[in-house]
Structure 1
Amino acid sequence: MERNENIRSAATAEPHATARKRGAVPQGSAWALVTGAGSGIGRCYALRLAALGYNLAIAGDRAEPLDGVREELAAAGCPRVQVVVTDLARIEAAQELYDGLCGAGIAPDVVVNNAGIFSFCDVLSTPSERIERIVLLHDMTTTQLCRLYAAQMIARGVRGHILNMSSYSQWMPFPGLALYGASKAYLRTFSVAFAKEVADRGIRVTASCPAGVATDLYGLTPRWQRIGQRLGVLISADSCARRGLHALWRGRRSVVPDWWNRAWIPLCKLLPLRAIRPLRRFTMRFQK
């Protein structure tokens, strides 16, 4: 029986006990790993998992923002925090991260593969090295981490949870998004199929596919992020993390936060090139 079901059973048996939130564990009794945790959605995942009782292993490619998140987690009462500074856009990155955490005695029950690189640029204008890094980070590293940690969870006999951050852009085959959208489409397809492979072994896998999120990923200034949220075209990073975890605890294989984004998917797929051309001319100035 899953941990959250045990918690609900215990609460029923003891009427005066405080009911735990979905996904919660006794304080400090389990570990969670979040990649790309130095800012944005990854930071919010880390804070929310800490609030549910988890120790946190946070990974990213820059020490300073990770140290800042570590201080936030400590202030929030997270019992233990392990910081791993590493470049995850390398073939050997997943194995190195896994081996390093195993050496530190850390075996997470929850893995959030959040690290990502945004790219809005035509393929012909994208350097080969950047293409390689995006595909390695989004697809190779995530796939290997899923394989390594799912096998470890099964060997340990725990009911594990893995959340992979895909993107709404997979349904937007627009100029400038060919590389980014395709790499995220792989993540969703892989996650849904992998979830079916490991479901009977007690592992839940979810792909979160948010549309616009108010983070620094797209290069938007804080002012434009606030405007986007007021207009309803962007959701907050914390809202994205909350909805992703909610879907993970419920065992959903794929989720698109907010119903209106789900409603637009058929239109995104069918939008003709003549309708995209004016948008392309406007957005060319933002290519990076």
Structure 2
Amino acid sequence: MKKAILQKIVLSATGVIVALLLFLSPGLKIPVLDGATDSYFREAISKGGISYAACRVINASISIIKESSLHLEPAGVGLSLAVGQALDPIDDMTERLSDVLVTAITSLGVQKLAYEIGISLAPPVFAVFLLLLSVLVWFNSTKLIFLHKTVTRFALLIIIARFFLPLSSIANDFINTNFFAPQIDEVSKQLAIDSKEFDKLKDISLPDGIFGTASFLKEKSGDFKKALAAVANNMGGMIESLLQLTFLYVGILIIQVLLLPLLAFFFLIKIVNALFDIHLPAEVLHHHMNHPNPEREETC
């Protein structure tokens, strides 16, 4: 008897002390786990932002070129050379890639926000459950025992919810580091090399009303043709790089937005079934397997 009471005293006191520590430690972080999670979100959002900025620079350069024209007016004869019409495919690809990047960055931002909310709310909520358990441990009523089990299950769910997102982020980081990041870096470097020719096109411009010798005009026209030819030669490589980046970021989105959440839902359902002793998905499947067509059974 004394041993049972001593156990209850130890459990109740431990629960109260831990609950008070949790109340006094808002935003408590786990050094290794949360440190890796913070690093993952920071680097992933930063790399996504860099890729998005590079796309916007290319898009802005194309817009400037497409909206500009080279005006040469030798001896009163006007000549207007419109440029950039051949850059429509690259313009479209940068727009598509920008949309994918915005979606990816938004997804990371929402996950980071949910993670930070979990850090802030999990300790006090778990502390409340611990205080309830510290009180309920003293009662042996059947109804209170059921309440005790229910509170214990919800406390376990809080722990699962607190640790799930950091663990999934570490899994994401492992996949990104070993598969996506090397390919994204390589394609981004190649895209930066190919897009340098846009600067040459932007620099070759003449104000209206310039009068010069035929040799000056010929030199400028020759530089313009060379720059435009260089862009045309690199167009295939740029489109290929933009396509590869789009595919890679779509793959990241599929893993972050679809695959991991679905796996999380599956495992959470399994955990909830184990904690609350229910089998909701299995019951639904069992019902449909036993009664595939009720109307047909009635007619028979």
Q: What TM-score, normalized to structure 1?
A: 0.20
Q: What TM-score, normalized to structure 2?
A: 0.19
Bigger radius of gyration = 2
Greater relative CO, 1 or 2 (CA 8 Å, sep 6+): 2
Greater share of residues in strand = 1
